[in-house]
């Protein structure tokens, strides 16, 4: 290459154009394939023509022109690391040479820098694990490395914490573990032990220990010096950070492609949204066909409003009449009360009678006191004679007892004397023995009979006990059937009374009445949220699943008559409506929250239907409630028990089973009876039989429900009749068994009683026999003494009685005189009492008359008060009904205005005129101008017509599949679906715009990356040529980005173009090494790292080339005094002159002992 061409290349702009092939490649707008180092395609980048303004150059620290202030290495200290026991190296801030023989530990210093600044063991090419770098002779088994960095100036890393220098310390152990410490270089205080803080430090100071140009070890140097063109290209892209940017853009491109895929998926998903909008639009169009009937309903509602107003007017007039009658009655009763109050009171007459009564009471009290005194005197006088009388009575009792003892003793004496005289005792003893043998025989016969009756009793008791539970079960069965018959009869009556109302199928007339009230409140705007029900109105059998209709209804239980509310206000209002409809257990409600329709899973087993798959539920709230409350997604419906066992059940072990479907199915309902099959936790099977016949509720109309109810009633009545017959026969057998058992038990008790009687007789006979055998000679002395003593007692008592009678005769005159005084006072007291009673009677009559007069006054006053208390009620009722009338009048006029408004609006639309009417409610002045209309019918008549029309509309909606939605809801759903579709389209457009922006930005960054690569290549070529010029040669670099190769073109004589050689292998070893070193220096000149380390970079250079290379490196390094350079070489450095900016460290040769590989501690010579 000529000098003229070199100068022209050097002076050209950094943004110069490359050869035509490369320019054509970069300007092409197609997706370009970028390959990895091995040539395989990596990713596609779509390029655009927009240029970005972001600078891709690395951040610059340590500005040129002044010494480095941050990031350079001040010192290196190692302990027990590789071959060094302890070593400290303090470096120059600009150029440092470390030389020495092989094995002296030069490369260990480089390895210490790499390991301490975060590199791994493999990056040093000295070991595979960190533990292998610990000095083998170390007794502690650990190594410690410290690298101190300068940290001054504005680019310093947290100088407030770390000061003017930072010491990074890393400790290694033979086990492979290690720790980091970041210390203040001045104080030695540890500031951090986190690896992320070290990473932040390296990023901020732009230290790149992984970059082979920044830190070039022996292996990397050999690979670079002897490597192929592809190795040099890879080395170049890695050293210049182009490879990292390329990979980053590739990842960004992949992410953008993923976003494109997501956008395509979202666009594809819009198909279902568009279909939904079309379906909802069709529903709205279907509703327009029902407007005529809706208009009729509005007209009838208008007439009903005027009819209700007439009733309110009549009630208001009635309240006015009741108020007027109450006022008249109040005036009449007030007049009667005033007349009673004006009558005489009779107080003087009553006072005279009370004074006379007081005088008589005083006289009566005096007479009573005298009588009590006389009675007390009589009592004292009668006390002695009463005592004598008591003694006389006592004596008579004792005489009677003594006489009885005397008679008994005399009778006993005579009997004993007679027995002794007749010899009766021997005969009596023989008779006793005979009776005893007879009783023994009789006892044996009775015991034998008792044993027979005991056996009879046991047999009848067993029969009785066996029949007792049978009778009880039959009675319970009859009672249960009777209750079922009664319930079906009530339901049949309710269905017959509902007159074909479809709602009555799910809850009877009460449900129909409640549904009407709910609809009325909805029209009045009383609900704050949706109120849905009965649930059965929203549930249908899916097409082709009609055979499971009755079984699905059985699985849902009693949920079909329930309603759904979404807030507390609606629930409280609904409960009031339930009370008005007189609902007890039926027609209750669930409170839930509005949420999107659940996405349920299926069990995935062929031939298995769940309740959810057999039902068609359009309303999302109803569907979600059935999932939560009835578990319709986990209850399976099967055609038979055998089919369920074959398809769903699988045996795990004997006695343990499981249900297929991933634990989704919890219950299995089987036809034809509706039996339920479940599994317990141990895998055992549980069966629950259904005694009642299945009946279809879902999808059934009123007539079908009536037929099913009648059939069910007939079936239950026949079953009840049959069970009654069985119960009667069983009860008769039970009663006969009980009677026989009672009879046998009575016989046993009789025989036991006879046994006890005979045993008592035998015991008595035995006692008499034993007593007769022990009789001695009879002695009557004791009996004669008893008779004598009794005669003496009677004589003494007779004398005491005569003395007491004489005392009574002496005391009798005084008692008679005291009795006469008492009788006289008693007669006087009776006369006074008679006078008192007469006066009291007169006073009572007078008081009765006065009391009657007061009671009349009180009754009259109470009547007045009662009317006065009711007057506010009458007035309040009148005010309330007046208010209701005014409210009803406004509502009727508003209905009339809306009706007229709709008529005018439709007429204008029919005439093709643009409607200029407003849909807002009119002012009160306009409503007041509407005249009151009289209607000939009562509100119930119009309500019946509305219900009939509503039923026809519902039937038409059912026919057109519009039953579970209103026109307003259809419009609302359609508008929301359109809004959702519009929002999604807008969102997709936004995503497209963002993706376009990302594509353009990536293309712009890719172009700038290529321009940066082009600029870097250009600068590297210039520097490479300049370094070769120092040796009298010239050269250039040829890059093939497609093949990812880097070739060196060298002209040995820069004045002779004929000496140009594209094959570097044709050069000598020294020339080839110098050329490669020139490339290495050229690449590193643009590297913004604070320091560079090169190990054995000159091993293949001849002396002349080495000298030129060293001088060139020193010259370049001195010019870059804001950078630090560390050169490691085993060659002679005599040509290098140390100075202020250049420092040479010479390692002491290794001490070779008898032990192979044995190394001693190394020191440095400067």
Burial class (CB in 10 A: 0-12, 13-18, 19+), 899: middle
What was the pLDDT predicted at 225?
Answer: 61
d(CA 167, CA 190): 9
- What does DSSP assign to residue 38? T
Task: Report the pLDDT averaged over residues 1140-1166.
Answer: 60
Comparing CA positions, the residue from 335, 342, 341 lying closest to residue 857 is 341
Comparing CA positions, the residue from 96, 130, 102, 103 lying closest to residue 116 is 130
Using pLDDT thresholds of 50, 70 and 90, give the confidence band for residue 757: confident
* Ranges 59-68, 529-538, 1138-1147: which has the least confidence: 59-68
Q: Which helix (H) or strand (E) holds 637?
A: strand 635-638
Would you say 157 and 204 are in contact if contact means Cβ atoms under 8 Å apart?
yes
Give the bridge partners for 35, in sequence order: 41
* Ranges 296-305, 427-436, 1032-1041: which has the least confidence: 427-436
Coil, strand or helix at 965: coil
Using pLDDT thresholds of 50, 70 and 90, give the confidence band for residue 148: very high
d(CA 169, CA 157): 16
What was the pLDDT predicted at 51?
Answer: 42
What was the pLDDT predicted at 425?
Answer: 55
Comparing CA positions, the residue from 997, 1013, 1010, 1006 lying closest to residue 250 is 1006
Using pLDDT thresholds of 50, 70 and 90, give the confidence band for residue 1095: confident
Using pLDDT thresholds of 50, 70 and 90, give the confidence band for residue 169: very high
DSSP characters for 974-1031?
A: HHHHHHHHHHHHHHHHHHHHHHHHHHHHHHHHHHHHHHHHHHHHHHHHHHHHHHHHTT
What was the pLDDT predicted at 354?
Answer: 67
Using pLDDT thresholds of 50, 70 and 90, give the confidence band for residue 961: low
What was the pLDDT predicted at 77?
Answer: 94
d(CA 591, CA 565): 5
d(CA 1148, CA 87): 12
Burial class (CB in 10 A: 0-12, 13-18, 19+), 183: buried
pLDDT in tens, 841-851: 776 676 667 66
**Is 70 exceeded by the pLDDT of residue 348?**
no
Q: Which helix (H) or strand (E) holds 1098?
A: none
Which residues, in sequence order, are CB contacts of 208 under 8 Å at separation 6+? 202, 214, 215, 1087, 1089
What was the pLDDT predicted at 210?
Answer: 80
d(CA 566, CA 592): 5
Using pLDDT thresholds of 50, 70 and 90, give the confidence band for residue 771: low
Pairing type for strands 635-638 and 667-670 reads parallel
What was the pLDDT predicted at 25?
Answer: 38
Q: What is the mean pLDDT of the chain?
A: 77
Which residues, in sequence order, are CB contacts of 521 under 8 Å at separation 6+? 527, 531, 573, 577
Task: Report the pLDDT averaged over residues 932-949.
Answer: 81
What was the pLDDT predicted at 65?
Answer: 64
Task: Report the pLDDT averaged over residues 29-37.
Answer: 35
What was the pLDDT predicted at 1069?
Answer: 63
Tokens of 741: 């058992």
Task: Report the pLDDT averaged over residues 732-744.
Answer: 82
d(CA 1118, CA 1109): 14
Burial class (CB in 10 A: 0-12, 13-18, 19+), 41: exposed
Task: Report the pLDDT averaged over residues 783-802.
Answer: 75
- What does DSSP assign to residue 14? T
**Is 60 exceeded by the pLDDT of residue 568?**
yes
* Ranges 19-28, 361-370, 1125-1134: which has the least confidence: 19-28
Burial class (CB in 10 A: 0-12, 13-18, 19+), 352: exposed
Which residues, in sequence order, are CB contacts of 502 under 8 Å at separation 6+? 537, 701, 702, 951, 954
Using pLDDT thresholds of 50, 70 and 90, give the confidence band for residue 902: confident
* Ranges 26-35, 94-103, 772-781, 905-914: which has the least confidence: 26-35
Would you say 83 and 1162 are in contact if contact means Cβ atoms under 8 Å apart?
yes
Q: What percent of the chain has pLDDT over 90?
A: 4
Instruction: State phi, psi for 376 to the nearest 5 degrees.
Output: -65, -40
**Is 50 exceeded by the pLDDT of residue 1164?**
no
Would you say 155 and 167 are in contact if contact means Cβ atoms under 8 Å apart?
no
**Is 90 exceeded by the pLDDT of residue 168?**
yes
CA dihedral 1151, 1155, 1156, 1158 (to 10 degrees): -40
Tokens of 966: 């209103």
**Is 50 exceeded by the pLDDT of residue 46?**
no
Cα dist from 576 to 58, 521, 562, 593, 732, whole Å: 77, 12, 15, 21, 53
Would you say 1050 and 1067 are in contact if contact means Cβ atoms under 8 Å apart?
yes
The total of other beta-carbon atoms located within 10 Å of residue 1028's CB is 27
Comparing CA positions, the residue from 33, 74, 118, 82 lying closest to residue 1160 is 82
Letter string b/e over residues 983-1010, b meaning 16 or more CB atoms within 10 A of that residue's CB = ebeeeeeebeeebeebbbbbbbbbbbbb
**Is 50 exceeded by the pLDDT of residue 414?**
yes
**Is 50 exceeded by the pLDDT of residue 396?**
yes
Q: In this predicted model, which residue has the larger pLDDT, 1083 or 1070?
A: 1083
What was the pLDDT predicted at 919?
Answer: 55
**Is 70 exceeded by the pLDDT of residue 963?**
no
């Amino acid at each position: 290459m000529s000098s003229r061409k070199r100068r022209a290349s050097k002076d050209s702009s950094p943004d110069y154009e490359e050869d035509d092939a490369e320019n054509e490649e970069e300007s092409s707008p197609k997706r370009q394939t970028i390959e990895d180092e091995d040539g395989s395609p990596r990713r596609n980048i779509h390029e655009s023509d927009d240029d970005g303004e972001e600078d891709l150059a690395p951040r610059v620290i340590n500005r040129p022109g002044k010494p480095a202030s941050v990031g350079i290495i001040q010192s290196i200290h190692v302990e027990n690391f590789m071959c060094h026991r302890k070593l400290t190296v303090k470096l120059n801030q600009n150029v440092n040479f470390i030389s020495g023989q092989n094995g002296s530990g030069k490369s260990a210093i480089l390895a210490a820098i790499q390991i301490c600044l975060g590199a791994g063991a493999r990056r040093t090419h000295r070991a595979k694990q960190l533990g292998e770098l610990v000095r083998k002779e170390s007794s502690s088994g650990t190594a410690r490395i410290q690298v101190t960095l300068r940290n001054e100036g504005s680019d310093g890393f947290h100088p407030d914490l770390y000061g003017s220098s930072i010491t990074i310390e890393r400790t290694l152990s033979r086990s492979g573990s290690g720790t980091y410490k970041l210390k203040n270089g001045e104080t030695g205080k540890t500031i951090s032990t986190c690896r992320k803080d070290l990473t932040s430090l390296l990023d901020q100071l732009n230290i790149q220990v992984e970059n082979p140009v920044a830190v070039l070890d022996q292996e990397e140097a050999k690979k670079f010096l002897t490597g192929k063109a592809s190795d040099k290209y890879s080395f170049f892209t890695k050293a210049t950070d182009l490879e990292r940017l390329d990979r980053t853009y590739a990842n960004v491109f992949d992410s953008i492609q993923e976003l494109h895929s997501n956008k395509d998926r979202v666009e594809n998903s819009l198909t279902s949204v568009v279909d939904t909008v079309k379906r909802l639009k069709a529903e709205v169009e279907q509703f327009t066909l029902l407007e005529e009937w809706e208009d009729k309903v509005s007209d009838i509602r208008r007439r009903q409003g005027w009819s209700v107003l007439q009733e309110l007017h009549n009630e208001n007039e009635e309240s006015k009449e009741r108020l007027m009658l109450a006022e008249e009655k109040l005036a009449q009763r007030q007049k009667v009360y005033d007349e009673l109050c004006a009558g005489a009171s009779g107080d003087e007459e009553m006072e005279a009678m009370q004074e006379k009564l007081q005088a008589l009471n005083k006289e009566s009290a005096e007479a009573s006191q005298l009588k009590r005194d006389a009675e007390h005197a009589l009592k004292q006088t009668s006390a002695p004679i009463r005592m004598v009388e008591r003694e006389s009575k006592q004596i008579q009792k004792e005489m009677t007892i003594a006489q009885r003892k005397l008679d008994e003793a005399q009778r006993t004496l005579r009997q004993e004397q007679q027995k002794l005289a007749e010899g009766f005792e021997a005969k009596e003893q023989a008779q006793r023995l005979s009776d005893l043998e007879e009783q023994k025989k009789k006892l044996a016969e009775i015991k034998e009979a008792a044993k027979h009756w005991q056996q009879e009793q046991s047999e009848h008791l067993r029969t009785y006990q066996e029949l007792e539970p049978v009778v009880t079960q039959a009675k319970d069965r009859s009672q249960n059937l009777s209750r079922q018959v009664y319930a079906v009869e009530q339901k049949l009556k309710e269905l017959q009374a509902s007159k074909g109302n479809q709602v009555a199928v799910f809850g009877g007339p009460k449900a129909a009445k409640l549904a009407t009230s709910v609809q009325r409140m909805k029209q009045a705007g009383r609900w704050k949220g949706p109120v849905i029900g009965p649930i059965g109105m929203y549930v249908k059998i899916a097409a082709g699943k009609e055979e499971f209709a009755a079984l699905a209804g059985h699985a849902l239980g009693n949920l079909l008559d329930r309603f759904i509310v979404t807030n507390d206000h609606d629930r409280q209002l609904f409960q009031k409506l339930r009370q008005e409809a007189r609902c007890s257990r039926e027609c209750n409600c669930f409170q839930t929250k509005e949420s999107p329709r659940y996405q349920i899973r299926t069990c995935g087993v062929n031939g298995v239907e769940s309740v959810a798959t057999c039902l068609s539920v359009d309303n999302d709230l109803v569907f979600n409630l059935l999932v939560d409350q009835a578990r319709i997604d986990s209850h399976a419906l099967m055609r038979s028990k055998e089919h369920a066992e074959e398809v769903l059940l699988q045996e795990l072990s004997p006695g343990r089973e499981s249900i297929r479907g991933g634990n989704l199915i919890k219950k299995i309902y089987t036809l034809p009876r509706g039996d339920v099959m479940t599994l317990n936790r141990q895998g055992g099977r549980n069966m629950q039989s259904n005694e009642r016949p299945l009946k279809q509720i879902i999808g059934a109309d009123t007539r079908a429900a009536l037929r099913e109810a009648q059939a069910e009633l007939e079936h239950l009545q026949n079953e009840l009749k049959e069970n009654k017959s069985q119960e009667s026969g069983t009860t008769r057998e039970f009663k006969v068994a009980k009677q026989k058992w009672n009879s046998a038990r009575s016989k046993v008790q009789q025989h036991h009683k006879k046994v006890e009687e005979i045993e008592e007789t035998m015991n008595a006979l035995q006692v008499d026999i034993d007593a007769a055998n022990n009789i001695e000679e009879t002695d009557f002395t004791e009996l004669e003494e008893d008779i004598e003593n009794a005669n003496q007692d009677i004589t003494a008592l007779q004398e005491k009685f005569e003395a007491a009678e004489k005392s009574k005769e002496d005391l009798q005159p005084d008692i008679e005189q005291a009795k006469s005084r008492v009788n006289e006072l008693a007669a006087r007291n009776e006369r006074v009492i008679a006078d008192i009673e007469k006066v009291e009677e007169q006073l009572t009559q007078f008081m009765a008359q006065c009391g009657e007069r007061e009671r009349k006054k009180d009754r009259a006053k109470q009547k007045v008060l009662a009317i006065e208390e009711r007057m506010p009620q009458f007035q309040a009722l009148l005010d309330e009904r007046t208010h209701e009338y005014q409210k009803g009048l406004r509502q009727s006029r508003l209905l009339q205005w809306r009706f007229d408004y709709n008529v005018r609006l439709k007429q204008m639309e029919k005439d093709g005129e643009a409607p200029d009417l407003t849909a807002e409610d009119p002012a009160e002045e306009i409503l007041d101008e509407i005249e009151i209309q009289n209607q000939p019918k009562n509100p119930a008549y119009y309500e019946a017509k509305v219900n009939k029309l509503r039923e026809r509309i519902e039937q038409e909606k059912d026919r057109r599949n519009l039953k579970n939605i209103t026109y307003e809801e259809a419009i609302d759903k359609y508008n929301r679906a359109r809004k959702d579709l519009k929002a999604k389209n807008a969102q997709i457009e936004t995503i497209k715009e963002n993706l376009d922006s990302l594509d353009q930005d990536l293309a712009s960054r890719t172009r700038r990356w290529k321009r940066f690569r082009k600029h870097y290549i250009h600068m590297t070529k210039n520097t490479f040529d300049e370094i070769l010029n120092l040796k009298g040669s010239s050269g250039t670099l040829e890059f093939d980005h497609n093949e990812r190769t880097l070739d060196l073109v060298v002209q040995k004589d820069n004045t002779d173009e004929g000496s140009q050689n594209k094959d570097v292998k044709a050069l000598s070893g020294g020339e080839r090494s110098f050329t490669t070193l020139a490339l290495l220096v050229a690449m590193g000149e643009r590297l913004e790292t604070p320091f560079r380390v090169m190990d054995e970079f000159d091993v293949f250079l001849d002396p002349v080339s080495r000298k030129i290379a060293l001088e060139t490196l020193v010259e370049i390094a001195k010019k870059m005094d804001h950078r630090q350079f560390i050169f490691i070489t085993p060659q002679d450095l005599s040509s290098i002159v140390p100075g202020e900016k250049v420092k040479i460290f010479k390692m002491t040769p290794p001490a070779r002992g008898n032990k192979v590989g044995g190394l001693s501690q190394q020191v440095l010579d400067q």
